[in-house]
Amino acid sequence: MVMGEKDLEKRNFLNWYFRYATQEEIEKAIIDKNATMERLINEYSVEIEKGNRSRPMGEFVSQPRGVLQEFDLVDCL
């Protein structure tokens, strides 16, 4: 299936928004590129809201080092 330009824009924006951008980068992008960012956020607001609700709670709460068990994969082989 050939991905349309609109589908590619949507995928790229949502990947950036959820995987790569920090909250500070999102806020800066809104200020610096107001018209474009406003359009993208408005256009994909449903997907953003769904993504925000489906994120695991651990992504929002930073955990102190050592809470999760750390191990070396080499030892597991």
- Is residue 56 packed enough to be buried (19+ CB in 10 Å), middle (13-18) or exposed (0-12)? exposed
- pTM for the complete prediction? 0.61
Query: Rounded to whole angstroms, what are the CA distances from 77 to 9, 62, 69, 70, 71?
Result: 41, 30, 17, 15, 12
Residues of the chain with pLDDT under 70: 1-2, 55-77
Q: What is the pLDDT of residues 51-60, one digit of tens each?
A: 878 766 545 4
What local confidence, expressed as pLDDT, does residue 77 receive? Answer: 37
CA distance 22 to 2: 31
What local confidence, expressed as pLDDT, does residue 56 receive? Answer: 60
CA distance 9 to 34: 17
